[in-house]
Amino acid sequence: MTDHRKGIRYRYLPAVHPFRLLCTILLTFFLLAGVIALIVYLVYRPSKPHFSVAGATVFQLSNSSTQPNVLSTGMQFTLVSRNPSERSSILYDHLSAYVSYRNQPITPPANLPPLFQDRDSSIAMSPVLGGDFVPVSGDVASGLLTDQAYGVVNLRVVLTGRLRYKSGPFWSGWYNLYVRCDMLVGVRKGVTGAVPLLGEPQCDVDT
CATH of the domain at 161: 2.60.40
Name the burial class of residue 103, with classes exposed (0-12), middle (13-18) and buried (19+) by CB atoms within 10 angstroms of its CB.
Answer: exposed
Clarify whether residues 27 and 63 are in a common domain: no
Q: Hey, what's the torsion of the CAs at 49, 53, 58, 63, to 10 degrees?
A: 70
Do 106 and 193 belong to one domain?
A: yes
Do 94 and 162 lie in one domain? The reply is yes
Greatest distance between any 2 Cα atoms in the chain: 120
Name the domain count of the chain.
2
Closest by CA position to 51, among listed 178, 166, 199: 178
Output the pLDDT for position 38.
Answer: 64
- 3-class secondary structure, 85: coil
Strand (E) or helix (H) holding 115:
strand 115-117
Residues 92, 36 share a domain: no
Of the two residues 68 and 159, the one the predictor is more confident about is 159
Q: Are residues 79 and 7 in the same domain?
A: no
Q: What range defines the domain where residue 151 resides?
A: 46-206
Same domain, 58 and 157: yes
Q: Model-level pTM?
A: 0.79
7-11, 140-144, 178-182: the lowest-pLDDT one: 7-11
Query: CB–CB of 140/62 below 8 Å?
Result: no
| Mean pLDDT, all residues of the chain | 87
Q: Give the model's pLDDT for residue 98.
A: 97
Output 11 or 179, whichever has higher pLDDT: 179
- Give the C-alpha separation, 136 to 159, whole Å: 20
The phi and psi torsions of 109 (rounded to 5 degrees) equal -65, 140
In this model, does residue 110 exceed pLDDT 80? Answer: yes
Q: Between β-strands 8-9 and 50-63, what pairing exists: parallel, antiparallel or unpaired? A: unpaired
Predicted confidence (pLDDT) at residue 16 exceeds the cutoff of 70? no
Name the residue among 125, 126, 127, 154 with its Cα closest to residue 61. Answer: 154
14 exposure class (CB count in 10 Å sphere: 0-12, 13-18, 19+): exposed
Residues 20 and 58 in one domain: no
Shared domain check, 196 and 172: yes
Asked whether residue 31 falls in the same domain as residue 50, the answer is no
Same domain, 36 and 55: no
- Characterize the bridge pairing of strands 70-83 and 50-63: antiparallel
pLDDT at res. 26 = 80
Residue 1's pLDDT is 52
Residue 127's nearest CA partner among 70, 78, 57, 165 is 78
Same domain, 16 and 61: no
| Same domain? 26 vs 112 | no
